[in-house]
Amino acid sequence: MFTVTLMTNHAMYLDTNLVANLRNAMGGGAATWLDPNHCAEFDAPKIPRNIQTVWESLSAEGVDMVWQKAGDRKRKMLLADMDSTMIQQECIDELADEAGVGTRVAEITARAMNGELDFEEALLERVGLLKGLPEATIATVLEKRITLMPGGPTLLATMKANGAHCALVSGGFTAFTQAITAKLGFDEHHANTLLAENGTLTGDVTRPILGREAKVEALNRITKTLNIQPAEVIAVGDGANDLGMLQLAGTGVALHAKPTVQEQAKHRINHGDLTSLLFIQGYAKSDFVTA
């Protein structure tokens, strides 16, 4: 048995007829509305062979669809990427913009996140372009340029209220993950450390560089410490360096992700916000905890 979840963003309503028609076509049971306006789910005995075509059709109408094995879907751990996932920006791009090399760095970032470039090489090239930038610029960027992804505070508050461990693992920088961890309430954070001398960025980071494999290692290490299994983790990210952890986690979600990530991730959310991760775990809107 499978559970099929249908969701829209807050700007549009989920059509009751659409839910009923899809449920009937899949031979599903009665629909449960987790949000009276935006989310419904139903159980179905099997997933049709044309599910990808159905997903594409729904996505074109602004509807996200996730299907997974029925049963207890609530996860004991959240493992999240930061840039373009828990926040709406790429921190390195914002720093580069302040340094006057924004266009060049943003181009490299886009290619790296789509898997077209080696992550470590791309990171070092971009960080090198920040050489000479005042370290104080980090605080300026945090204050003026960084905004939380919608739904993030509710996601963290609800999962933590239900006993989940929440970890932030980023290929970005500790100066930013520390601030986001404090703001959202993550239990721990891991990222790369920008090096500075006399208040100025040197254009380098500490080694080893935290990339794709380090995120997988973090998932394995943290779950072992918590005495839980990777299957009990929900992971979310948007870039190619997130694919390893998304594929290892019991529930791996590509959120507004790059094309290559969407092609390989288990689940995709292209329209909803981070509260979609609660819906696909079976939480109703009435269960949400506001931060």
Q: Which residues are catalytic?
A: 81, 83
d(CA 32, CA 226): 32
Q: Is 75 left (phi over 0), alpha (psi -120 to 50) or beta?
A: beta
**H/E run at residue 107:** helix 102-113
Taking the alpha carbons at both ends of the chain, their separation in whole angstroms is 34
Place of tokens 């629909």: 31
Q: Where are the beta strands (DSSP E) in the chain?
A: 2-7, 32-35, 39-44, 64-69, 77-80, 165-173, 188-192, 194-197, 200-205, 233-237, 251-255, 267-269
Burial (CB count <10 Å: 0-12, 13-18, 19+), residue 138: buried
Burial class (CB in 10 A: 0-12, 13-18, 19+), 25: exposed
The pair of structure tokens assigned to 9 is: 């963003």
